[in-house]
Structure 1
Amino acid sequence: MSVKISTWIMFVSLFLRLHPIATASSGRCLDDQKSLLLSLRNGLGFDSKLSSKLLSWNRSMECCIWAGVYCDEAGHVTGLFLNNDHISGKVYLDVFGKFKYLQDLDLADNNVTVIPNTKESSFSSLANLTRLLLASCKMNEIPDLRNLPTLRTLDLSGNLLKGEIPIWIWNLGNGSLGSLKLSQNKFSSLQKPFTFPLTLNVLDLSSNKLKGDIPVPPAEIYVLNYSNNEFGSSIPVDFGNALAYAYSFSISNSKVVGVIPKSINNAEFLRVLDLSSNALTGPIPVDGSMQYLESLDLSLNKLSGRIPEQLTSIMTLEFLNVSYNRLSGKIPQGGVLRFPTFTNLSFEGNKGLCGPPLSKTCGTSNKRI
């Protein structure tokens, strides 16, 4: 129970750090802010039958109580949460540049097309912006955000971005970026030489076309997702050292080769580890150090040798999948591996494995030498 509570506390602390909660203003809406909002509304299209935010923007009401709008006590707009509101049209990123006090901007999951200004991003004047969420906004170019000193969270996932991930992106917020999501794009590499900010807690580069060396994250990483890429390389020997405080790491379906480094055991606070659907070889190096591990997926690789007895000492393990490898020997029967959660599906596809929950019994050929 104490492990679950501490995990929850860590998650809430990280969430509040990366996603500050805006509060509605008790002050009166300023006339210029209302005019800017109405101008923004008039420049966008939305489905009046489905929209729950823009539809409620009415000149006769205080703009600080409009749906999706948050203000400070002086009546300045500090937050615009317009995500998933069936909005359409083109956004040139100077409409937002006039909201000088804006801290949070969320346009994700609409039918808008964000078009970065070729000369200067309309976001560049937003000196107070801390969170910018532009997921699924049909962007084919990263807007220039280099002049945003307070930016901590950036989400550009689900767009049409390709080529190199520019090195300047790691210096956003004066090198204090906490969360970066670039998943579901078509990035092929990271521009070098890059240096991850030490403050980076969440990094999602999944579902791209990244090739080459697997980047070692900074020591403060908490959530790391490299899955669904095309690396074609091995996991660096010291990679596990960088996961000392990590909650989850996934690099599934990314054409990873070579062995799982023994340093993975240094990720002792890891809850989720997914290395499935790659071409990993050699033994499973888990020595039982990851005592908080809840989910382990090593399926669809080329791993060989025995399933480590130490896995049975991880009492938090709720999901295990080592199917379709080249493992052999008797499945350990002690501890958690007796739980009904682990059926034959967790072990199938390994011709050399035997013992419950598989129907194959262990003969003399399976005894230790």
Structure 2
Amino acid sequence: MSSLGYFFAINIAFVSGQCQSDQQTLLLQLKSSLTFDPSSSVKLMQWRQSTDCCDWSGVDCDEAGHVIGLDLSTESISGGIENAASLFSLHYLRSLNLARTSFNGTQIPSKLANISSLTYLNLSDAGFAGHIPLQISSMARLVALDFSFNQFSGSISSIRWEHLLNLVYAVLSDNSLNGSIPRFSNASSSALDTLDLSGNRLRGSIPVSVFELKKLTSLLLSSNNLHGTVQLDKILNLGNLAKLDLSYNSLAVDESSRNYSFSPMLELLNLASCKLREIPNLKNQSQLQYLYLSENQISREIPNWIWRVSVVGLHCLNLSHNLLVGFQGPYSIPALRFIDLSSHQLRGNIHQLPNNLIYIDFSNNNFTSSIPADTGNFMPRLRYFCAANNGLTGIIPASLCNATTLSLLDLSNNSFMKKSDAFLF
């Protein structure tokens, strides 16, 4: 079962019984200890002594009336939870969601680890800061942990990952965590399905043990300070991989070996700014939807197999800022939504484009054809069209006026006719 499927399974397993009096007392004490705006509160303002706590918004109970789920996400809570002693006394609690609150730079209290029954902990975008307390490592039953979009700092090794043997979903993206990626012990038996450490300040190389996490479906390490060389054939060990993002580090991805083959279940591949010299071998990909290979050193022609690489259909293709010179024929562009081929040396004609495109960027190339006359007639969702700094000729098609969803059109620095009966500025 995927991590998302597991979370749904947690929620549907909640069966409310009649609330135990001690549980109701703890929740009312929790409410009184929290600072929140009553005018924008949706859940906490419904908590009243006169009603059964198992019927309160954001509260889930088991059949015995114990509180096992608490969801205060998007509530207008500010301050912190350091003094919320009653929260740490909810010993039956399995799921705690404080996402998208406003704790304004306060730290996670170490006493949170007292809730040893927790399997799901979501503190994303909650305004927490400081170090992640070491005591989190003692929460051995945790299956899912989301600390993304906070202001956490300090070493990522403050979590002793070797103690979290049941962890399936680990997301700590978009913080200020530093240090090196931990070396996972017992990697071959690890339960990890999702590891997202992107958008931090991690440094060093990617440890070999990461590529031994055989159950991984998502490995997201973008926008850090990682360095070293990653051999694509090492990723062969990740046979269940669906999402791989190593972009915007100081990594060099070596695709020179012809013996590698990505998992056929790959849906997203982002190797932007990874010093690639060739487009990786993706011919066996039937599920690929998002491919980002921008800001590399890829030269020669765009291979024609790339347009038919996916059975489900490639949605986004970004090959911008490389050294490509043309298109291997024969080819036709499939039903993409996003295509960015800007900043190359591409030459020749702009062919008829698929009708469900939302974003097109062909700028800073050497295209010399005219734009097909009916381009604007069959693109009902087009929002962005940029073909600036080319050698395009002819007239600007009047049909572009029919692209009513278009919010940006940039055709500057081309060789269009200055006046046209079909289109006037």
TM-score bracket, normalised by the shorter chain, equals 0.7 to 0.9
Q: TM-score, normalised by structure 2?
A: 0.64
Are 1:171 and 1:177, in contact at CA under 8 Å, matched by a contact in 2? Answer: no
Q: 2:191 aligns with which of 128, 136, 143?
A: 128
Are 1:164 and 1:187, in contact at CA under 8 Å, matched by a contact in 2? Answer: yes
Q: 1:230 aligns with which of 297, 302, 312?
A: 297
Q: State which drifts further: 93-102 or 103-112.
A: 93-102
Q: What is the deviation of 1:104?
A: 0.8
State the match for 2:250 in structure 1: 186
Q: What is the deviation of 1:99?
A: 1.2
Q: Is residue 278 of structure 2 the alignment partner of residue 197 of structure 1?
A: no
Q: Is residue 315 of structure 2 the alignment partner of residue 247 of structure 1?
A: yes
**1:161-172, aligned counterparts within 5 Å?**
161-172=226-237
Q: Is residue 221 of structure 2 the alignment partner of residue 156 of structure 1?
A: yes
Q: 2:152 aligns with which of 61, 78, 87?
A: 87
Q: 2:389 aligns with which of 319, 324, 345?
A: 324
Amino acid of the structure 2 residue aligned with 1:111: S
Q: State which drifts further: 277-286 or 212-221.
A: 212-221
Q: What is the deviation of 1:333?
A: 2.5
Q: 2:105 aligns with which of 44, 50, 56?
A: 50
Q: Secondary structure at the match of 2:287?
A: coil
State the match for 1:364 in structure 2: none
Q: What is the deviation of 1:186?
A: 2.2
Amino acid of the structure 2 residue aligned with 1:55: P
How far apart in 1 are the matches of 2:3 and 2:374?
A: 36
* Poorly superposed stretches of 4+, deviation over 4 Å: 16-21, 23-29, 59-63, 340-345, 356-359
Q: Secondary structure at the match of 2:331?
A: helix
Q: Secondary structure at the match of 2:229?
A: strand
Amino acid of the structure 2 residue aligned with 1:330: I
Q: Is residue 369 of structure 2 the alignment partner of residue 302 of structure 1?
A: no
The superposition leaves residues 265-323 of structure 1 with CA deviations (integer Å, 9 ceiling, x where unpaired) of 2x22x11111112221111123x4x2222221111111011212353442323322222
Amino acid of the structure 1 residue aligned with 2:165: K
RMSD: 3.6
**1:249-328, aligned counterparts within 5 Å?**
249-259=317-327, 262-265=330-333, 267-268=334-335, 270-286=336-352, 288=353, 290-309=354-373, 311-316=375-380, 317-328=382-393
Q: TM-score, normalised by structure 1?
A: 0.72
Are 1:348 and 1:358, in contact at CA under 8 Å, matched by a contact in 2? Answer: no
Q: What is the deviation of 1:216?
A: 4.6
Q: Secondary structure at the match of 1:330?
A: coil
Q: Secondary structure at the match of 1:326?
A: coil
How far apart in 2 are the matches of 1:276 and 1:145?
A: 34
Query: Could you say which structure has the larger radius of gyration?
Result: 2
Q: State which drifts further: 126-135 or 346-355.
A: 346-355
The superposition leaves residues 235-276 of structure 1 with CA deviations (integer Å, 9 ceiling, x where unpaired) of 1132211155111111122232224755242x22x1111111
Amino acid of the structure 1 residue aligned with 2:368: S
Between the aligned residues of both structures, percent identity stands at 23
Q: Secondary structure at the match of 1:329?
A: coil
Are 2:171 and 2:195, in contact at CA under 8 Å, matched by a contact in 1? Answer: yes
Q: State which drifts further: 252-261 or 183-192.
A: 252-261
Unpaired runs of 5+ in structure 2? Answer: 15-60, 69-88, 90-102, 125-138
Q: Secondary structure at the match of 1:89?
A: coil
State the match for 2:287 in structure 1: 220
How far apart in 1 are the matches of 2:202 and 2:186?
A: 17
Are 2:241 and 2:265, in contact at CA under 8 Å, matched by a contact in 1? Answer: yes
State the match for 1:68 in structure 2: 122
Q: What is the deviation of 1:169?
A: 4.4
Q: What is the deviation of 1:105?
A: 1.0
How far apart in 2 are the matches of 1:21 and 1:352?
A: 56
How far apart in 2 are the matches of 1:89 and 1:125?
A: 28
Task: Mark the CA change 1:337 to 1:226 in structure 2 (over 3 Å): closer, same or farther.
Answer: farther
Q: Secondary structure at the match of 2:211?
A: coil
State the match for 1:7 in structure 2: none
Q: Secondary structure at the match of 1:234?
A: strand
How far apart in 1 are the matches of 2:186 and 2:224?
A: 18
Are 2:389 and 2:412, in contact at CA under 8 Å, matched by a contact in 1? Answer: yes
State the match for 2:173 in structure 1: 108
Q: 2:210 aligns with which of 142, 145, 151?
A: 145
Are 2:377 and 2:403, in contact at CA under 8 Å, matched by a contact in 1? Answer: no
How far apart in 2 are the matches of 1:58 and 1:93?
A: 15
Are 1:132 and 1:154, in contact at CA under 8 Å, matched by a contact in 2? Answer: yes
Task: Mark the CA change 1:227 to 1:243 in structure 2 (over 3 Å): closer, same or farther.
Answer: farther
Aligned length: 315
**RCO (CA 8 Å, sep 6+): is it higher in 1 or 2?**
1
Are 1:152 and 1:177, in contact at CA under 8 Å, matched by a contact in 2? Answer: yes
